[in-house]
Amino acid sequence: MKKIDFILVLEKDTIFHYLRDLGFSDMLVSGRGQTDLSTRVLLRKLRDHFKRIPFYCLVDANLSGAYIFSTYRFGSEDKAYDSLCLTVPNLEYIGLGIQDVPEENLTCMEAKDLKLAEKC
């Protein structure tokens, strides 16, 4: 039986396939850009089963990525009553932060971005 060293949650399905094709596959999970209920339940069950291994999350360095990470880690507003069953409190963020993006590549937030920022 293969030892699992960590579980990596990926926002993008393309990154999931890329890493899998490279043989980087201890345990990869992708919600395909969404924090769907099935993925959240699976992650919580894995967390409950593998108590000692770290969980990492790699998402885009934007508001959507922050929202996806926070939903996996802290839960969502619409499923607040189920947050204990649908979260991974020890999930750690890895990847670029907003401070890593060059200032010339930053853009102003649009109305949809501001609405999403209020949810985070």
54-92 per-position pLDDT tens digit: 999 999 878 888 889 989 998 877 666 666 788 999 999
Mean pLDDT of the chain: 82
Closest to 98 measured CA to CA, from 79, 117, 118: 117
Asked whether residue 1 is domain-assigned, the answer is no
Instruction: Please give the residue that has the higher pLDDT: either 71 or 105.
Output: 71
The verdict on residue 2 lying in a domain is no
Residue 14, domain CATH: 3.40.1360.10
Q: What's the per-residue H, E or C state across the chain? A: CCCCCCEEEECCHHHHHHHHHCCCCCCEEECCCCCCHHHHHHHHHHHHHCCCCCEEEECCCCHHHHHHHHHHHHCCHHHHHHCCCCCCCCEEEECCCHHHCCHHHCCCCCHHHHHHHHHC
**Is 91 inside any structural domain?**
yes
State the total domains in the chain.
1
Boundaries of domain holding 26: 7-119
44: its two tokens:
């919580």
